[in-house]
């Protein structure tokens, strides 16, 4: 696996986890995304869960 393939794989995993936690996510490129910040307090409360999920993948 090349470094580029590895980076793409990790990017897909991160995007997948974030998509499951925010109302809307717009992916611009392999390392740039924008998400709907409606309910940001709820999202901030889930950051601990997000970090744990990222470590498990």
pTM of the model: 0.62
* pLDDT tens digit sequence for 22-50: 888 999 998 899 988 776 666 666 777 77
Distance in angstroms (rounded) separating the CA atoms of residues 21 and 7: 22
Distance from C-alpha of 8 to C-alpha of 1, rounded to nearest angstrom = 11
What pLDDT does 11 receive? 92
Around 27, how many Cα atoms within 13 Å sit in the side-chain half-sphere? Answer: 12
Separation between Cα atoms, residue 1 and residue 4, nearest integer Å: 8
């Amino acid at each position: 696996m090349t470094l580029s393939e590895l980076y793409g794989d990790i990017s897909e995993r991160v995007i997948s986890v974030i998509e499951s936690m925010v109302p809307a996510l717009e992916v611009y490129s392999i390392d740039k995304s924008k998400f709907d910040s409606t309910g940001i307090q709820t999202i901030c409360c889930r950051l601990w869960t997000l970090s744990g999920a990222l470590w498990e993948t």
